[in-house]
Structure 1
Amino acid sequence: MADYTGRIAQELKLPVSGVGAVAELLAEGCTVPFIARYRKEKTGSLDEVAITAIRDGLARIEELEKRREAILGSLTERGILTEDLKKTIDAAATVTALEDAYLPFRPKRRTRALVAREAGLQPLADALLEQKGRDPRELAASYVNEKKGIADADAALAGARDIIAENVSENPSVRQDMRVIFVRFGVCTSSVVEKKKEEPEAATYADYFDWKEPLLRVPSHRLLAVMRGEKEGYLSFSIRPEEKLALEKLYARYVTGSGEDSRQVEAAVTDGYRRLLAPSMETEARSTLKKRADADAIAIFARNLRELLMASPFGARPLVAIDPGVRTGCKVVCLDSKGDLLHHTVIFIQRSDAQYVQAGATIRALVARFKPDAVAVGNGTASRETEEFLRGLDLDIPIIVVSESGASVYSASELARKEFPDQDVTVRGAVSIGRRLMDPLAELVKIDPKSIGVGQYQHDVDQKQLKNALDDTVISCVNAVGVDLNTASAKLLSYVSGLTPSLADNVVKFRESEGPFRRRQDVLKVPRLGPKAYQQAAGFLRIRGAENPLDASAVHPENYGIVDAIAADQNCTVADLIAAKDLRGKIDLNRYVTDEVGLPTLEDILSELEKPGRDPRSALEIFSFDPNVRELTDLEPGMKLPGIVSNVTAFGAFVNIGVHQDGLVHVSQMGRYVKDISSVLHPGMAVEVYVLDVDVKRRRISLRMELGKKNAREKSAVK
């Protein structure tokens, strides 16, 4: 383990002691959020990003060691493991180095070189490689053997060249040289598949019909686009350096003379490069590029998802939620402060004047009866018309447009059926819209992140890596905010540190049968929830109005004794410490430092006492679209409009300006150079944009913005 931690520490530029501590804690079953929050003294206050990188590094090394064991086992079983080969295998520090060392000994199909070796042509190949200026035909004459399939000297020389070609392609040092050449000088090229050029779908890839770009400069989104085009059969894609450059490197290594035998070696090297080495290196280069592109796309997706999950909540307040519709009407639901469904109905605002008037009367009656603090309106079809209708009623409460991306997925899910077995999908969808306004995090965790609509080429990237990254993001957000133990759904609880889905279900069942939890430690009464799960979860669970005010905070129960000691020293109660700033100002934290608890944890405790259970999410900013712009046909170049960023990609940001079609602000249209768009924009951010161009037929909107000129507001907005 020491070797591993040292290697990871060097890769990540982190202290070895911190990496070792994280490795030990992970081995004990501790979660990333728990380690980051409650084990700062052991790790040196490493954050979640560093701890996650260490975890992934350990997993990567574990996979490397499994592969090493498998290779050694194969070599031993076949009786070809020598002491020198074992040293080489043991010394391989990467999967690439390991596979290079194993390549010449890997069981393989019958290659041309293998057939030549079986025919006894290895000595001829060795003689040619000596390049002493001898006549190749004279050397080959003694190897002619019709029984072995060697009809003449030419056939013998061809077999010898096959052996040399394979040796060249399997030489670890040569392969490493070629990797460098492919990476530094490789050129990505794509062209259209002529027989599919006229198909309508091919136009999607028109930019890549005759495309060429150095490998080092290809951005991830472009590579994924080309690879998708190739997968769908519209493009042909390759990665190669200039052949002359690669061959000159190989000739310098292998061709040492000027005689006919050297010409044979040169021909073998050329064949080895073209037939074996170049395709192999291209496959590796494609794999490396794909991994890099996947990592970039997944990182963008994860950042976007984090912004959505951490969007400002409206809070636990009653409201009316509406899922707009034309033909089937607008689905209206009334929710209490817990998000429970109190009432539902349907109104029609576009069929007739009489129904329009009736719809207004219905909404006014619901507002008078249930006294909501806001009306949430889904941003789908007829959203703007519904919003305009509601504003015309002068309800004297906010009308807030909410993204309904993924609401239909939730409404048809098993989870929604379980929550609302007696309601149809339309009612469930409206409830989801309302709950999303109350608490985006609590509602969005019920939906597969890939259905929320903030990804970039999400179906083209490695799905396992994508799932892991998105799961990490959800877990991080849920534990950063904390979870109300008495109101949280089983789905939300399942993301709490230490709680599995089955334990989360048990918590909810226990709550339903025994009533609300009054103390954190009562969670230990939940079936199958033991001390280890409690240790990992307790600090992230909140009990509002508990007898012990610390149960509503992020102070871990294992540290309650410290707070009690501080309160005793101040001759007050814990509640007094929370209420009185002057008392907290008298605390000398150094008095409470122990071998287990240091200043980082004590400072966290003091911070919690100032604002117990604080919500790290920013305050809600209510946003409104331009009331005069509702359709694409209302747009004109030069218009300045308010908008909400709906998605951020590597090439630009998509912005909802309230016309049922997001516009694109290309990275080149942001008013200044932006290296990383996600560093300045994120989903849910309110911005001001200018209309550049509108293509009504293709439903495309080009926008620009002026970053740094009072454009992007700092607070999140609800769309």
Structure 2
Amino acid sequence: MRRLIKCIAAARPKNLPHFRMAMRASSSVAVGEGGDVGKIVQERLYRIIGARMSISPAIARFVVEQTKRGSTVPFLARYRRDETGHLDERALRQLIDMAEELQEVQRRRAFMLKSLKSRGLLTDELREAFDKLLHLNQLEDAWEPFKEKKTSLSHRGREAGLEPLAKKLLYTSEPLTDALEKLRSVTDGAKLFQAIIVEEVQRCDEVRQLMLAECRQSGVISSSLAAAPRKKNAKEIGTDAFETLKKQFAAYENRRWSVQRISAHNVLALQRGESKGVLLVKMIPHSRSKYTFFSWARKKFVGFQRQEDPKATRLLNQCLEAAYENIMKVTHNIIRRDLKKSAEKEAITVFAHSLRHILMQCPMRNARILAMDPGVTKGVKCVALDENGGVLTRFKCIIMDKANMRDYISGCVEKLKLNKIVIGNGTASREVADIVADTIEERGLSVEYAIVSEAGASVYSVSDVAREEFPTLDPMYRGAVSIGRRVIDPLSELVKIPVRSMGIGMYQHDVSEMELLRALNRVVESCVTCVGVNALISNRYVMEKIPGVTKPIVDQIVLARYAKKLKSREDLRRVPGMTEATYQQVAGFFRFPNSTNPLDNTNIHPESYSTVQKLLELYGGKERREVGNILLNLRDAELRDVASRIGCGEATLELVARELASPALDPRSELPHAGIFRRFPPKLSDLKPGDMLRGVVQSVTTFGVFVDVGLHDNVLVRGVNIDTVHTGDPLDDLRFEGVDQLGRVRLRYDGVLHARGDAAAQSHRRGLTLESEEFLSLGRLTTPEAQPTLSDSLAVVREERQQIFASFSLQGPHEFARVAATVTNGSGNVVKPLKRPRTEGGVHTAAAGQTTMTAAAAAAAATKTTKTKTTASSSLTDKAEVAAKAPRSKKRRAGGKRRVTPSLVSEEHENDEKKQIVGDTLRWWRPEEETEKSGLTTGGVRAVKERTPGVKRPRTETLGPQKVLQPPTSTSTKESEESEPIFFF
């Protein structure tokens, strides 16, 4: 339990006391055995959420209760910031998800405790242990050994009366010889007895945590190609298809990854290959794991000592072998599950990040477009669109008849006065682009072309939405209409397409469909509410994406619009089916540009119109824009004074000030358009190494970005900062390096991001921070430097993975707290999180290249804080000075291990852990007595005895089974992160 407290404290060190209070309060609350969550349990939930997120329980209670009453996240994030403690949209969703998970944990816990009580297995210690588990995965893992399996051998053994005999053997030193006679009298007595022994060992939480820690630290995942498809895959794929798959996954033949360091895309690739039956994936534990388990089991259960009867000894060895195999099987399943879950979260995070920037691309105003959907068998489908996306004409060309195709294109462009040509990036798109470029050059057309993504266009063309929108148009032309409209107004058009069909994700078909759709739909809702909806011209599909607006309400809005009864937000209140509660939730997201009230075209909610009127009266009837600029230039104290004088919250006043200063500003106005418009495409045959190209980012992944530079295929570019490059961004300074042996184009990015007027730059130029602009980076009312990036989001996911890998057990924590949670720069931004410490010879060190806190550094830190001199600290300081003057090769011998900066030690951990300098060695103690009795610390590492540096420990002196948690000195694992991965999209 305390280990979880310290993990949370590592992320938010300032909030450790609050979390401690929440845990003490939660431990005193008895979990009810019914399905209802009582008021006391609900208050416990709010305290836990508040402690995790560094907010007060009152804020957590307000958000959860408002959500139950129907309030939407965008509404709370924008119009209830005073009550929510200025939480942004992402934090609110995190809070709501956390509340849902805790409520599900409460429900499952009540069921488990009820089941244990009915079977007579529930004890006070077990109830308290289950009560401390706050994550669903941890709860299910702890419940696994207690599941009833009436058809199992252990159940049959208990019915045969062998359970008392098995427990007596395990927990006493009574010989097994006398019990062999009873086993012979029972049918399959030895097997039933062995099954009971195995289950009892598996129920011991210490052994499960020990083996989990061992496999997570030193385990290896290996993959190899299957010789033939499995039986369940043989019917689905033939021999030829199987051989093709083997070629695709050839890079995964005889590969190995460390469990701790395997990347997300490799996990998903292995999962895909295994599901198709072409890869054999397995977990390989360290060779010492079996010895560790046997050694620990013989110390934990006295019955496993050597018996006098050889038959009894043989039976016990068989029990140990079976218990080891069973526990390792469960351990491997848990590790594979955790890796899969973490990898799916990373893939979903990348997908959502790319989708946000695709939806928020700048609309192309006053563009008359010729949209072309390339094809070979069915020809090239062409549709001409006006400025509003209306269909002007349509025709079809055959790509083989180039002369006729040029005549059609030039005639349509000149007759309809088109100024842009948009080509879908499907089959034969490059051939069509060559014909278009030749036509522009030969005919002297004043038009540009661009190749844009056509992902989802074919799905849209046969959907109910397309049939409803274009009932008389041939389906093959509907796709061309979608391709052209997504350039005119990307948000309004792309919301019609199923989000999974966008084709911008990483392994999007291998992740949980429910979780993916949930995350992507949230992104769509966030973007729509960020931009706002023009109630007079927006299509119905955009309005349906506003949280709280149902399809019947949209039908009534459309009818009122056609009847010219919808001119202002007040008219929206009178739409049939629009209740007062619904109106309050959605009114702020609708825009009415032609309303008599200018505030109807801003983000200001109708409930704050009176606040605007008070401000105008307060400032003597000045213009709205001038009042907004005045308020933005006020100091915090002056702003609070104005808020108190007019009777509104500070956050509401800030929103009003921004909207008055810059009303009706579209946050997409200076973001990049879809695609790069060209007049002449580059040709691969004309390129030479060193030539510079310009492209547009098509997809962002954790291992690089895919860029369209006008060649036949998108090119993978590595070394690009994924925090500054987004899907849809143009990239300059792409250096052509040639073509590799596999025919892949190699590019190197050695420039800077193309000048894009992003939201932060726009805000800086205007001298104000717009609420809608900050939605682009998932942050609100934060400085541009503090806005979360893709790396920040991925870091959160990976930190959750590390916390899962460090999950605590029922019997208490088995790990020390981190020596230091994070390292920050001067502005408070996290630079690099420090990893959990490990132990080496009695001194806790940081993992993988981190520094070590030695006694000298501890003494120096103590001298700074307490300004006292002791004999021990002075002697240690002298040693540190000797080490500083010594040559580099002798520093470690003179001063011990490398030093860590004393300032990196968390103050909270200084209060939690008792540090003592014993024998010139810094030793970390935990206050729990039960830990000292069990002798387990970090992941099962026994608390070591103090010793003096310079005195070598004899080789015969070992730490027992816990020593297995030390990293191996050498490994044969091939780290695949440095190798060329296989990419599937």
Shared fold (TM-score, shorter chain, > 0.5): yes
Q: Which of 688, 694, 701 is matched with 2:739 structurally?
A: 694
> Which amino acid letter does the alignment assign opposite residue 447 of structure 1?
I
Task: Tell me if 1:592 matches 2:643.
Answer: yes
Question: Among the aligned pairs, what percent are the same residue?
Answer: 31
**Deviation (angstroms), 1:278:** 0.8
- The answer on whether the counterparts of 2:423 and 2:452 sit within 8 Å (CA) in structure 1 is yes
Query: Which letter maps to 1:50?
Result: A
Q: Distance in 2 between matches of 1:84 and 1:346?
A: 76
Deviation of 1:531 after TM superposition, in Å, equals 1.3
Structure 1 contact 88–101 (Cα < 8 Å) conserved: no
Distance (Å, rounded) in 2 between the aligned partners of 1:80 and 1:582:
69
Within the alignment, does 1:251 sit opposite 2:295 as a pair? yes
User: In the alignment, what sits opposite 1:227?
Assistant: 271
Q: Secondary structure at the match of 1:678?
A: coil
Query: How far apart in 1 are the matches of 2:177 and 2:121?
Result: 34
**Contact 1:692 / 1:704 at 8 angstroms: preserved in 2?**
yes
Distance 1:604 1:649 in 2: 35
In 2 relative to 1, CA 390–109 (structure 1 residues): closer, same or farther, beyond 3 Å? farther
Match of 2:218 in 1: 185
Give 2:695's aligned residue: 643
The whole-number CA distance in structure 1 between the counterparts of 2:340 and 2:92 is: 25
Amino acid at match of 1:385: D
* Between 319-328 and 681-690, the greater mean CA deviation after superposition: 319-328
Q: Which segment is superposed worse, 32-41 or 264-273? A: 264-273
Q: Could you tell me which residue of structure 1 aligns to residue 667 of structure 2?
A: 616
How far off its partner does 1:374 sit?
4.1
Amino acid aligned to 1:609: L
Task: Return the offset for 1:486.
Answer: 1.1
Structure 2: unaligned runs, 5 residues or longer: 1-41, 230-238, 759-985
Deviations 1:222-280 (A, max 9, x none): 01101111111111111242152354145324444753279568625632443311111
Partners of 1:583 and 1:82 in 2: CA distance: 66
- Does 2:427 correspond to 1:378? no
Matched, 1:202 2:246: yes
Question: Could you tell me how far apart the structure 2 residues matched to 1:647 and 1:41 are?
Answer: 38
C-alpha distance after superposition, 1:353-374 (max 9, x if no partner): 365335423320111xxxx564
CA distance in structure 2 between the partners assigned to 1:433 and 1:143 by the alignment: 76
Q: In 1, are the aligned partners of 2:440 and 2:447 still within 8 Å (CA)?
A: no
Is 1:601 the counterpart of 2:643 in the alignment? no
User: Residue 407 of structure 1 contacts residue 432 of structure 1 at CA under 8 Å; is this kept in 2?
Assistant: yes
Structure 2 partner of 1:537: 586
Quote how far apart the aligned CAs of 1:423 are: 0.7
Distance in 2 (alpha carbons) for counterparts of 1:246 and 1:526:
71
Corresponding position of 2:766: none
Question: Counterpart of 2:722 in 1: which secondary structure?
Answer: helix
CA–CA separation in structure 2 for the residues paired with 1:526 and 1:541:
13
Distance in 2 (CA, whole Å) between partners of 1:611 and 1:422 is: 43
Contact 2:704 2:722 in 1 (8 A): no
Q: Out of 321, 324, 337, which is 2:370 matched to?
A: 321
Aligned counterpart for 2:352 among listed residues 302, 319, 325 = 302
The letter for the 1-side match of 2:739 is: V
Distance 1:511 1:219, change over 3 A: same
User: Hey, what does 1:42 align to over in structure 2?
Assistant: 83
The answer as to whether partners of 2:381 and 2:397 remain within 8 angstroms in 1 is: yes
The residue number in structure 1 matching 2:184 is 144
Q: Distance in 1 between matches of 2:452 and 2:49?
A: 44
Distance 1:550 1:26, change over 3 A: same
Aligned pairs for 1:261-660 (under 5 A) are 263=313, 267=317, 270-315=320-365, 317-325=366-374, 330-346=380-396, 351=401, 353=403, 356-357=406-407, 359-367=409-417, 374-380=420-426, 381=429, 382-389=431-438, 391-392=440-441, 393-396=443-446, 398-512=448-562, 514-515=563-564, 517-572=566-621, 576-578=623-625, 589=639, 590-593=641-644, 597-619=648-670, 621=672, 624=676, 629-630=681-682, 632-660=684-712
Q: Which moved more, 1:529-538 or 1:245-254?
A: 245-254
Q: 1:359 and 1:569 mapped to 2: Cα distance? A: 61
2:716 counterpart of 1:664: yes
Does the 8 Å CA contact 2:676/2:730 hold for their aligned counterparts? no
- The 8 Å contact of residues 373 and 479 in structure 2, kept in 1 or not, is answered as no
| Aligned 8 A contact 1:323 1:378 in 2 | yes
Structure 1 contact 178–246 (Cα < 8 Å) conserved: no
Cα distance change, pair 714–166 in 1 and its aligned pair in 2 (3 A) = same
Please point out which of 225, 236, 261 is paired with 2:280.
236
1:98 is paired with a residue whose SS is helix
- Give, in whole Å, the separation in 2 of the partners of 1:310 and 1:551: 22
Distance 1:396 1:99, change over 3 A: closer
Q: Select 2:140's aligned residue among 91, 99, 102.
A: 99
In 2: Cα distance, 1:582 partner to 1:712 partner: 31
Looking at structure 1, the residues matched to 633 and 704 of structure 2 have their Cα atoms a distance apart, in angstroms, of 51
Inter-partner Cα distance in structure 2 for 1:423 and 1:117: 72
92-101 vs 283-292, which moves further: 92-101
* Structure-1 residue corresponding to 2:871: none
Query: Cα deviations across residues 112-143 of structure 1 (Å, max 9, x unaligned)?
Result: 32333333323332343246373x33442354
Q: How far, CA to CA, are the matches of 2:550 and 2:604 in structure 1?
A: 22
Deviation at 1:594, TM superposition (A): 7.0
What is the aligned-residue RMSD (CA, Å)?
3.1
Distance 1:44 1:139, change over 3 A: same
1:507-545 deviation digits (Å, cap 9, x = unpaired): 223323x22621112112222221111111111111112
Which AA in structure 2 matches 1:643?
A: G
Is the CA contact (8 Å cut-off) linking 2:368 and 2:386 kept in structure 1? yes
Which of the residues 148, 156, 165 maps onto 1:124?
165
Distance of aligned partners of 1:679 and 1:236 in 2 relative to their CA distance in 1, 3 Å threshold:
same
Would you say 1:62 and 2:103 are equivalent positions? Answer: yes
For 1:602 and 1:455, the matched residues in 2 are separated by 39
Maintained 8 Å contact 1:40/1:601 = yes
Which of these residues, 163, 170, 181, is aligned with residue 203 of structure 2?
170
Q: Which amino acid aligns with 2:370?
A: A
- Whole-angstrom distance in 1 between the partners of 2:133 and 2:646: 40
CA contact (8 A) 2:588 2:604 kept: yes
Per-residue deviation, residues 283-336 of structure 1 (Å, max 9, x unmatched): 111111110000000000000111101112213x35123215465555443434
Q: Deviations over 1:615-674 (max 9, x none)?
A: 1125255764776655555555443211111011122211111123111124xxx2xxx6
Give the Cα–Cα distance (whole angstroms) in 1 for the partners of residues 390 and 327 of structure 2: 64
Code of the aligned partner of 1:499? V
Secondary structure of the corresponding residue to residue 83 of structure 2: helix
| Contact kept? 1:162, 1:268, Cα under 8 Å | no
Structure 1 unaligned residues grouped into runs of 5+: none
The change in CA–CA distance for 1:533 and 1:699 in structure 2 (over 3 A counts) is farther
Tell whether the 8 Å contact from 1:168 to 1:269 is kept in structure 2 after alignment: no
Q: Give the letter aligned to residue 416 of structure 2.
A: L
User: With structure 2 as the length reference, what TM-score do the two structures score?
Assistant: 0.65
The 1-side partners of 2:133 and 2:533 are apart by 46
In the other structure, the counterpart of 2:860 is: none
- Separation in 1 of the partners of 2:600 and 2:361? 25
Shift of 1:584: 6.4
> In the aligned structure 2, how far is the partner of 1:646 from the partner of 1:178?
43
Question: Between Structure 1 and Structure 2, how many residues are aligned?
Answer: 689
Which letter maps to 2:275?
Answer: K
Kept after mapping to 2: 8 A contact 1:626/1:641 = no
Instruction: Quote how far apart the aligned CAs of 1:420 are.
Output: 0.8
Counterpart amino acid of residue 141 in structure 1:
E
Provide closer, same or farther for how the CA distance between residues 579 and 376 of structure 1 changes in structure 2, counting only shifts above 3 A: farther
Q: Tell whether the 8 Å contact from 1:36 to 1:48 is kept in structure 2 after alignment.
A: yes
Code of the aligned partner of 2:736: V
1:52 aligned partner, one-letter code: R
